[in-house]
Amino acid sequence: MPPSSSFDHRAATADDLSEIVTFAQNAEELFFCYPKADWPLSVGQLAATMAERRDSTVALLNGRVAGFANFYQWQYGDYCALGNLMIAPWARGQGVAHYLVTAMEQLAREHYHAKRMQVSCFNANSAGLLLYPKLGYSPSGIVERRDRQHQRVALIQFDKAL
């Protein structure tokens, strides 16, 4: 990441949604971060999923919304499962995902007293598969899923002690 980069994060708001829905550049990218969504991602779809999830958070890079994530599962005192991790195309490769995952780990500890974080990544998502081990996540399982074309895909599950 450039030395002049400034990172911050805050709770996502309704005003952020129109920006966040532009992060996935195609149907495959959307499937990686939100498998149940229909392409193209709409504000309505994202608002509905935010209502069902917890701690929807945006990462800011130099004051601009650059990433989004939330928890799709949370078990107080045990674990949180990270979901909907999306990075703006203009911000990729600048450390936003690393920053945002670390921020979400802190939220998991603070809000849920989580002892571990779980993440899942589809086999074709090489960026995610390379990111999570760098952040200390270890593979913990592989589950068969179906993509939008009903083809078999592998969902690789990762776990990290907090």
CATH number at residue 41: 3.40.630.30
Buried residues in 38-68 as b, exposed as e (16+ CB within 10 A)? eeebeeebbeebbeebbbbbbbbbeeebbbb
Spatial contact of 35 and 72, defined as CB atoms under 8 Å apart: no
Counted domains in the chain: 1
Asked whether residue 17 is domain-assigned, the answer is: yes
Tens digits of residue pLDDT in 118-156: 999 999 999 999 999 999 999 999 999 999 999 999 999
Distance of CA 120 to the CA centre of its chain: 9
Summarize the confidence of residues 24-35 as an average pLDDT: 97
Task: Say whether pLDDT at 3 is over 60.
Answer: no
What pLDDT, on a 0 to 100 scale, did the predictor assign at position 5? 83
The phi and psi torsions of 144 (rounded to 5 degrees) equal -80, 135
2 located within any domain: no
- Residue-number span of the structural domain to which 141 is assigned: 7-161
pLDDT of residue 4: 66
Q: What is the mean pLDDT of residues 85-108?
A: 98
What pTM, to 2 d.p., does this model score?
0.96
For the chain, the first-to-last Cα distance in angstroms comes to 24
Q: What is the DSSP letter of 151?
A: -
Average pLDDT over residues 59-83: 98
